[in-house]
Amino acid sequence: MVDSREIFRLKKRAAKVFAVLEKLFPNPKIALKYGNNWELLVAVQLSAQCTDKKVNEVTPALFKKYPKFKDYAEANPREFEKDIHQCGFFRAKTRNILGAAKAVQERFGGKLPRTMEEMLTIPGIGRKSANVILGNAYGVVEGIAVDTHVKRLSRVLGLSQEKTPEKIEKDLMRIIPKKDWFKATYLLIDYGRKYCFARPHKHELCPLSKAGLP
């Protein structure tokens, strides 16, 4: 169990970190491009182990070819694999996306559900994806989406020493006010993309390093 004094210290640290990030990125938001909630789910599924930039290059043609939700439920798997091949892991992603279309059609009448519990019943959807989809589609915030940037920077910035997304999410939820959970993900993602990369760089020149964090 985390000591209450340690939680208090981490809350103060998180407040300082996000105060800097909010000045750097006053309008943090998802980078994926989509036209409706279903396309959001498709884009999120495609982004697994793939850059948002690449997904945004693939989806315009994909969304034009499959303009309606039912087009995914009726799609030919082999053809769909070719359509998303550039995003990598195309077989698993095809299985999940087309399986998700059938699940949403059969269980939820063709509309994405609004709860974490229901979202997690959809093929290919874990907590990270569910947090992203619920927050962007409905403004429903039940947690913090922990992607690779959030996972890495949570440790770099001393906000969590855990290694799994689930445990990191719990740590962040303890020290970040709930009203800030949704934007926290995108602030960390934007910071990781623009300043504090995973690849070797002069970390001491990163804005948070200059601010003494860490």
Which tens digit of pLDDT belongs to each residue from 52-109?
A: 999 999 999 999 999 999 999 999 999 999 999 999 999 999 999 999 999 999 999 9
Of the pLDDT bands very low, low, confident and very high (cuts 50, 70, 90), residue 10 is very high
Residues near 116 by Cβ (< 8 Å), separated by ≥ 6? Answer: 127, 130, 131, 134, 142, 143
pLDDT at 22: 97
pLDDT at 212: 87
The answer to pTM > 0.85 is yes
Which tens digit of pLDDT belongs to each residue from 101-114?
A: 999 999 999 999 99
The DSSP secondary-structure symbol of 190 reads H
Mind giving me the DSSP string for 90-109?
Answer: HHHHHHHHHHHHHHHHHHHT
Average pLDDT over residues 27-49: 97
Of the pLDDT bands very low, low, confident and very high (cuts 50, 70, 90), residue 3 is confident
Domains of the chain: 4-29+145-210 (1.10.1670.10), 37-138 (1.10.340.30)
Residue with tokens 């994909």: 62
Which tens digit of pLDDT belongs to each residue from 164-204?
A: 999 999 999 999 999 999 999 999 999 999 999 989 999 88
Mind giving me the DSSP string for 22-39?
Answer: HHH-SS-------SSHHH
